[in-house]
Amino acid sequence: MVNITIDNKQVQVPENTTILRAAAMAGVKIPTLCYWEGLNEIGACRVCVVEVEGYDTLFTACNNTVEEGMVIRTNSKKARKARRTNVELILSQHNSNCASCVRSRNCALQTISNELNIQDQDIPFDKEVPLPKFNKDFPLIRDDSKCIKCMRCVQVCDNIENTHVWDVINTGSRTTVGVNSKYGRIEDSGCALCGQCIKHCPVGALRERDDTDRLLEAIDDPEKIVVMQIAPSIRTAWGEPFGLKPEFATVERLCTAFKAMGIDYVFDTNFTADLTIMEEGSEFVEKLKNAENEKFPLFTSCCPAWVRHAKAFYPDFVDQLSTAKSPQGMFGAVAKSYYADILKVDPSKIFCVSVMPCLAKKHECDIPNLNDACGDQDVDLALTNREVDRLIEMTHLIPQELEETELDQPLGIGSGGGNIFGATGGVMEAALRSAYFLVTGENCDPDAFKEVRGQGDWREYEFELAGTTLKIAVAHTLAATDRLLDALRKGEVQYHFVEVMACPGGCVNGGGQPIVDGFSRQIERADWLYTQDKNMQLRFCHENPSIVNIYKDYLTAPLSEKSHHLLHTDHHGWKMPGEE
């Protein structure tokens, strides 16, 4: 332990503690901008500078450590002045049209400027804002005029996702962030569209393509029947920007909001998550039965960022991806066939929208061979949770006052198994619950496989299933996934079944979820999905009455010809950039 003084407060902190952390322990807040704990501690913005007695130079609090007897002043005139100058310099190159910025009210630069009481007319520097040049049709959009070169996007892409799409380009005054020169343009890159760079961007330099107007157009089109699906993880987070707890911000309240916007039918992607388990679980059980002729492991394919990544960098594993479509994809196919039949309408009149925690889902719904129901695109539009929150604002709804409305049926019912899809390990747990039933004909304890929950980025387990020892693994983040795949390639590990999620923590922390600067809320959000699962009557995907009915009335059985046609896909039916 070392004894230090911060702003006249004496504290004892462990050795090697950063000044920033030590200050927090002393109840002193040092403002930061580029900092993200554990990921980006590089002192680039020079906002967290503090005065240390004995030195003229100011030091950054985020990446320098304390020593015995150190006397630190975080808010001295010198520190305040230097901090202010640095923020003013950043503002001089920042497009500060805050009124029309997607990150207005949720922008770290706006916050620090407000905290320092910086006002436009007092900034002594010329405005030199670079012109944005970027493809606005791609689901991920970068606006150079807003980038503050904090490097968080580079760090997350390098260290969490191991994809190296973002890189530092140019030198000197022209130094900025751009697509790694080995790729050229973003649309030619191996970007998985995990969207984690957006989640880590402190400002509006990175964002999703906003497709809200396409939804509004469809709503306004009298010919269209707008059908909405809500992904499992949405219920953990959509209320956050409005200060709502997930207990309050239910899918039923979201349903009310959607109905108020004019959406005709609101369903639950949990339903097709259950359906995915039926198909993928059956695929897995069949594979196990024919083990000697099959190649293992089977990989989950519900995360489209992971599918993109596999196709771009690990094409040798693409044939081992489950052919089952993702819940989003299955929903589209079912909505424009089974549900169109129920409504007795021409399926092409259905406009199928999803609200997803994800950017890659925007790409997934545009995959040309996902058109199996009626020849049109199965899912017309995927919106992120953030776009939906903006829609709620655009509709001038008061989130706190929304009543609950039951979802529509029969596609509005899902099991606890489907519900936990949104957390890392959730797909695996749901699949194991049902695989147990498919193999043994009886249900296990619904919590029999809860061991697979957790935050370790590469977890492995062994379970006995009807005399077979199943070796399974769960990976989240593409960096961990790459380690797992490299080990598989080298023959260092063997598994039967592997779940992969590109985002840290899974969809609850997806690239399309509400942004909280400096924090990832994956643990709290996952806990909420598990709490809901625990409190549900219906916990097994195969017991969902709507699932039982769709097989009875329409699909006949998992892996039937009709199921194959509607619910499975060929991952070779489209190409990633550079894929042969």
Chain Cα centroid distance, residue 208: 12
Q: Is residue 67 involved in binding another protein (CB under 8 A)?
A: yes
Interface with another protein (CB under 8 A), residue from 18, 64, 233, 384:
64
Task: Give CA torsion, residues 18, 19, 23, 26, to 10 deg.
Answer: 70
Binding of another protein at residue 469 (CB under 8 A)?
no
Bridge pairing between strands 458-465 and 468-476: antiparallel
CB of 57 vs another protein, minimal distance in Å = 5
Candidates 496, 425, 467; CA nearest to 283 is 496
Say whether residue 178 binds another protein (CB under 8 A): yes
The least CB distance from residue 15 to another protein, in Å, is 8
Binding residue (CB under 8 A) for another protein from 5, 7, 25, 59: 59
* Strand ranges, E, within 220-264: 225-230
As a whole number of angstroms, the distance between CA 30 and CA 512 comes to 29
Which segments of 174-291 are extended strands (E)? Answer: 176-179, 206-208, 225-230, 265-268
Minimum distance, C-beta of residue 181 to another protein, in the bound complex (Å) = 6
- For residues 457 and 527, give the distance between their C-alpha atoms in angstroms, rounded to a whole number: 17
Interacting stretch for another protein, rule CB under 8 A, among 61-69, 115-123, 192-200, 296-304? Answer: 61-69
Told to check if 170 binds another protein by CB under 8 A, we report yes
Window contacting another protein (CB under 8 A); options: 87-95, 172-180, 270-278, 302-310: 172-180
User: Which of these segments, 54-62, 188-196, 475-483, 566-574, binds another protein (CB under 8 A)?
Assistant: 54-62
Question: Closest CB to another protein among 60 and 272?
Answer: 60
Residue 174 Cβ vs another protein, minimum distance, rounded to whole Å? 6
Q: Three-state SS across 165-202?
A: CEEEECCHHHCEEEECCCCCCHHHCCCCCCCHHHHHCC
Q: How many residues bind another protein (CB under 8 A)?
A: 29
Q: Least distance (Å) from another protein to the CB of residue 97?
A: 22
- Choosing from 38, 56, 442, 492, the residue that interacts with another protein (CB under 8 A) is 56
464 binds another protein (CB under 8 A): no
Min dist CB 204 to another protein, Å, is 22
**CA–CA separation, 557 and 550 (whole Å):** 9
Distance separating alpha carbons of residues 166 and 148, to the nearest angstrom: 14
Minimum distance from CB of 2 to another protein (Å)? 10
d(CA 258, CA 255): 5
Contact status: 250 vs another protein (CB under 8 A):
no
* Cβ count near 12 (within 10 Å): 11
CB of 330 to another protein, least distance (A): 42
- The yes or no reply on residue 38 touching another protein (CB under 8 A) is no
CA distance 70 to 222: 70
Are 119 and 87 spatial neighbours (Cβ–Cβ below 8 Å)?
no
Classify 382 as helix, strand or coil: strand
Subset of 134-153 contacting another protein (CB under 8 A): 151
How many Å apart are CA 84 and CA 508, to the nearest integer? 36
Show Cβ contacts of residue 174 under 8 Å, excluding neighbours closer than 6 positions.
Answer: none
486 near another protein, rule: CB under 8 A:
no
Cα atoms in the 13 Å half-sphere on the side-chain side of 188: 8
> Nearest approach, Cβ of 43 to another protein (angstroms)?
6
In the complex, minimum distance from the CB of residue 12 to another protein, in angstroms, rounded to a whole number: 17
Span from 59-67, 241-249, 491-499, 545-553 in contact with another protein (CB under 8 A)? 59-67
> What's the min distance (Å) between Cβ of 53 and another protein?
11
Contact characters 5-24, another protein, x per CB under 8 A: ----------xx--------
Segment interacting with another protein (CB under 8 A) among 174-182, 220-228, 327-335, 467-475:
174-182
Q: Figure out which of the listed residues 1, 169, 345, 548 binds another protein, where binding follows CB under 8 A.
A: 169
Q: How far is the CB of 170 from another protein (least distance, A)?
A: 5
Buried b (16+ CB within 10 A) or exposed e, 171-200: eeeeeebbbbeebeebeebbbbbbbbbbbb
**Kind of pairing between the strands at 468-476 and 497-501:** parallel
For another protein, the binding residue among 4, 22, 43, 379 (CB under 8 A) is 43
Binding range to another protein, per CB under 8 A, among 162-170, 396-404, 476-484, 548-556: 162-170
Distance of CA 292 to the CA centre of its chain: 37
Distance, CA of 414 to CA of 420 (rounded, Å): 11
Quote helix, strand, coil % in the chain, to nearest 5.
40, 15, 45
| 55 scored as a contact of another protein (CB under 8 A) | yes
- Binding residue (CB under 8 A) for another protein from 14, 29, 69, 168: 168
**Which of 5, 65, 145, 377 forms a contact with another protein (CB under 8 A)?**
65
Which is nearer to another protein, 23 or 391 (by Cβ)?
A: 23
DSSP calls for 517-577: TT---HHHHHHHHHHHHHH-S---GGG-HHHHHHIIIII-STT-HHHHHHHB--TTSS--T
Q: Cβ atoms within 10 A of the Cβ of 368, count?
A: 8
Q: Does 172 bind another protein (CB under 8 A)?
A: yes
323 contributes a contact to another protein by CB under 8 A: no
Name, in order, each residue with C-beta under 8 angstroms of 184's C-beta and a sequence gap of 6 or more.
none
474: contact with another protein by CB under 8 A: no
Q: Which of 349, 326, 354 is nearest to 267 (CA)?
A: 354
Beta bridge partners of 233: none
Does 488 participate in binding another protein (rule CB under 8 A)? no
- For another protein, the binding residue among 4, 44, 324, 392 (CB under 8 A) is 44
Q: Which of 52, 87, 550, 566 binds another protein (CB under 8 A)?
A: 52
Q: Which range, of 36-44, 296-304, 380-388, 401-409, touches another protein by CB under 8 A?
A: 36-44
Q: Which residues bind another protein (CB under 8 A)?
A: 15-16, 41-44, 52, 54-57, 59, 63-65, 67, 133, 151, 155, 167-172, 174, 178, 181, 184
